[in-house]
Amino acid sequence: MGSRKRILIVDDEQDVLTYLSTLLQDHGYDTLLAKDGEEALRQVEFNLPDLVTLDISMPEKSGIKFYREMKAIDRWKQIPVIIVTGISEDFKKFISTRHRVPPPEGYLTKPINQEEILGLVKKFTS
Amino acid sequence: MEQPYKHYFEVMPAYLTILDRDLRIIEANRRFRKDFGDYEGRYCYEVNRHRAERCEHCPAERTFRDGQRHGIEEQFKNLSGQEVSLIVYTTPIRNEAGEITAVMKMATDITEIKLLQNQLRESRERYRQLFEEVPCYISIQDRDLWIIEANRRFREDFGDFLGRKCYQLYMHRSEECSPCAVKQTFQDGQVHQTEEVVTSKNGKQVDVLVYTAPIRDAEGQIKSVMEMGTNITQIRQLQSQLTDLGLVISSISHGIKGLLTSLDGGIYLVNSGLEKNNRERVKQGWQMVERNVARIKTMVLDLLYYAKDREPNLEWIPAQSLAEEVFGLMRGKAQELGIDFQCHFEPSAGDLAADAKAIRSLLVNLIENALDACRVDKKKRVHQVRIGLKGYPEYVEFEVSDNGIGMDQETRERAFSLFFSSKVGDGTGLGLFISNKIVQAHGGGIRLESELNKGTRVTVRLPRKGPASRPALPKPL
């Protein structure tokens, strides 16, 4: 078995962070946590994750801003991103504001289906 | 009478009579005899009007007196007693010496014309009444938008229209609206529809659905345009309540999805903790479940707040710490926008009985508006937003002022209306509407002063003891 994959979980809800990190750790992943876009960028910079699960509506720097900034940097743009959000409106906004950035690898709406998120994480990290 | 003239006299389609100086009928034509019967030896007024005395304004008498032709409108009563309207002319008949020996009286039946005239007058009155009493605002405007006619409802609510243009009276504007439905109708002759918020003469906001229609002359040219406005304020109010609810449901649905995710998380931690015999994880999971059930409970209560007009949840709160809290909350955003953000709070402002949550969102909304007004203003280099708090014996006053873009009169008047937003593409048109609702629920008042390109000041005055309609909240010791 190779080294454990590192997943960065970005969400402003502490309970969601606890949930996803426990779930992913139970399934053999290492997890990094960030409560907003600013923190997420720092995590990407210092801990280079293999995949990011990203909430969109967050105070300070939103998920959209973080996504655009991360995907604009060559050494980070290959990191797969799964959007995990509460309202489909968020995604519409996301689509309409992304210019010259690739679409996210996955898109899930809350409440999350465990098999679905585990399936996507596995797919994009193997 | 000579023979040919006698014949003409007989067949004339009018009543012809010849009278002597005593007003006795000495000759009458066929039509007269047919409708008025035997005349011989009888006086004109006897036969024509069934009277025993001479008429007051007798044209025949005048002709005998002055030798002139006279005309008058009279009512005759015919053989069957029916009243006939006539136009009567009298002409003198002279002898060779030029003396008046008789007068010829010619009367033409105008009963039909009279009837038509009456019908026309009645019909005009009916339309006038309809125009006046119809339960909507009607005005007639010329090409320059001068109001040339307006119905009663319009005059009552918007005042005297003479010498006023539509946009001056309706919108309190100095320039015409763009687009203008009346002008469009002048251009294309079509009916146009628009929805406006107008201001009545006593400053009340009225939502109106406006239709314009052309009024054409006999040649088909549009000479004026009729503007008809229906008051739909009540419909809009109903719609606003539904929108409020829709907005809240959508935000609650978003929140609930987040809460369900957290609940799922709690359940996952409990179940996996039990499987792994990890007591700490079970405890953490159970706390997550408890916390999120409590949050759902709050959310449901919030939903009820909007589902019906909920009374504010009053508690005694220190006005200054509430203002400071909001100030702290918004400082980051102001800094980000490079706006000088200042507060002037009177330490003696004291406590007030209010719904802290509602007042907090009211202040946040007002400050957000002020910051936005500065953000979009490109004319000034330095922008400032100032939050003030003053205490008076009976009330507490919050003030939010900015030197941003400001509002013109129309924007000022419509600021509290639902769906009205001056933030192009940015606003929902709900913020100030809901703020106003919160202030009203507290029995307070909100005042808006603004000048285009100079800035805006919103003053909220809240009664210290809460709404007068509610029993006073006991003050904690």
- Here the ipTM equals 0.88
The whole-number pLDDT of residue A123 equals: 96
Q: Which residues in chain A are closer than 8 Å to B266, comparing Cβ atoms?
A: 15, 19
Distances B322 to B21, B130, B339, B349, B355 between C-alpha atoms, Å = 106, 57, 22, 11, 11
Q: Which residues in chain B are closer than 8 Å to A87, comparing Cβ atoms?
A: 250, 253-254, 257
Please name the residue of chain B whose CA is at the shortest distance from the CA of residue A27.
B272
**Separation between Cα atoms, residue B461 and residue B445, nearest integer Å:** 5
- C-alpha angle with apex B248: B244 to B253, nearest 5 degrees? 150
Do residues B299 and B259 touch, judged by C-beta distance below 8 A? yes
List the domain boundaries for chain A: 6-125
Establish whether the linkage from the previous residue to B179 is cis, with ω within 30° of 0.
yes
Task: Flag whether residue A76 sits within 8 Å of chain B, measured between CB atoms.
Answer: no
Task: Flag whether residue B258 sits within 8 Å of chain A, measured between CB atoms.
Answer: yes
Task: Flag whether residue A87 sits within 8 Å of chain B, measured between CB atoms.
Answer: yes
Task: Flag whether residue A30 sits within 8 Å of chain B, measured between CB atoms.
Answer: no
Number of helices and strands in chain B (H, E): 14, 17
- C-alpha angle with apex B369: B367 to B374, nearest 5 degrees? 95
pLDDT digits (tens, 9 = 90+) for B181-239: 999 999 999 999 988 888 888 888 888 999 999 999 999 999 999 999 998 888 887 87
Task: Flag whether residue B268 sits within 8 Å of chain A, measured between CB atoms.
Answer: yes
Residue B139: strand pairing partners: B150, B227
Looking at the complex, report in whole angstroms how far the Cα of residue A32 sits from the nearest Cα belonging to chain B. 17
Burial of B205 (0-12, 13-18, 19+ CB in 10 A): middle
Q: Could you say which of B257, B269, B272 has the minimum Cβ distance to residue A111?
A: B257
Q: What b/e string do you get for B272-306 counting C-beta neighbours within 10 Å, with b at 16 or more?
A: bbeeeeeeebbebbeebbeebeebbeebeebeebb
**Separation between Cα atoms, residue B470 and residue B453, nearest integer Å:** 41
Q: Are A22 and B261 an interchain contact pair (Cβ–Cβ within 8 Å)?
A: no
Give phi and psi for B105, each to the nearest 5.
-115, 120
pLDDT digits (tens, 9 = 90+) for A31-77: 999 998 999 999 999 999 999 999 987 766 678 889 888 988 999 98
Do residues B140 and B149 touch, judged by C-beta distance below 8 A? yes
Do residues B333 and B371 touch, judged by C-beta distance below 8 A? yes
Query: Is the pLDDT reported for residue A89 higher than 60?
Result: no
Those residues with Cβ within 8 angstroms of residue B236's Cβ, 6 or more apart along the chain or in another chain: B207, B417, B418, B419
Q: Are B254 and A86 an interchain contact pair (Cβ–Cβ within 8 Å)?
A: yes
Q: DSSP per residue over B164-187, as a string?
A: -BHHHHHH--SS--SS-HHHHHHH
The whole-number pLDDT of residue B476 equals: 62
When pLDDT is averaged across residues A13-17 and rounded to a whole number, the result is 92
The whole-number pLDDT of residue B252 equals: 67
Task: Flag whether residue A26 sits within 8 Å of chain B, measured between CB atoms.
Answer: yes
* DSSP-derived pairing of the beta strands A81-85 and A51-54: parallel
A6-125 CATH? 3.40.50.2300
Q: Which residues in chain A are closer than 8 Å to B260, comparing Cβ atoms?
A: 110-111
Q: Could you say which of B264, B284, B291 has the minimum Cβ distance to residue A111?
A: B264
When pLDDT is averaged across residues A106-114 and rounded to a whole number, the result is 89
Q: Are A111 and B292 an interchain contact pair (Cβ–Cβ within 8 Å)?
A: no
Q: What b/e string do you get for B148-187 counting C-beta neighbours within 10 Å, with b at 16 or more?
A: ebbbebbeebbeebeebbbbbbbbbbeebbeebbbbbbbe
The whole-number pLDDT of residue A99 equals: 59
Looking at the complex, report in whole angstroms how far the Cα of residue B355 sits from the nearest Cα belonging to chain A. 25
Domains of chain B (ranges; CATH) run 3-114 (3.30.450.20), 134-231 (3.30.450.20), 236-307 (1.20.5), 315-463 (3.30.565.10)
Looking at the complex, report in whole angstroms how far the Cα of residue B359 sits from the nearest Cα belonging to chain A. 21
Q: Are A18 and B284 an interchain contact pair (Cβ–Cβ within 8 Å)?
A: yes
**Separation between Cα atoms, residue B281 and residue B273, nearest integer Å:** 5
Length of chain A: 126
Q: Tokens representing A57?
A: 């509506």
Task: Flag whether residue B335 sits within 8 Å of chain A, measured between CB atoms.
Answer: no
**Separation between Cα atoms, residue B214 and residue B196, nearest integer Å:** 20
The whole-number pLDDT of residue B298 equals: 65
Q: Are A18 and B255 an interchain contact pair (Cβ–Cβ within 8 Å)?
A: no
Q: Where are the alpha helices (DSSP H) in B163-309?
A: 166-171, 181-188, 233-276, 279-307
Q: Which of B149, B175, B172, B152 is nearest to B162 (CA)?
A: B149
The whole-number pLDDT of residue A98 equals: 53
Q: Which residues in chain B are closer than 8 Å to A86, comparing Cβ atoms?
A: 254-255, 257-258, 261
Residues in chain B with pLDDT values less than 70: 1-2, 244-252, 298-310, 413-431, 433, 470, 473, 475-477
**Separation between Cα atoms, residue A45 and residue A48, nearest integer Å:** 6
Q: Which of B394, B423, B391 is nearest to B407 (CA)?
A: B423
Q: Which residues in chain B are closer than 8 Å to A114, comparing Cβ atoms?
A: 264, 268
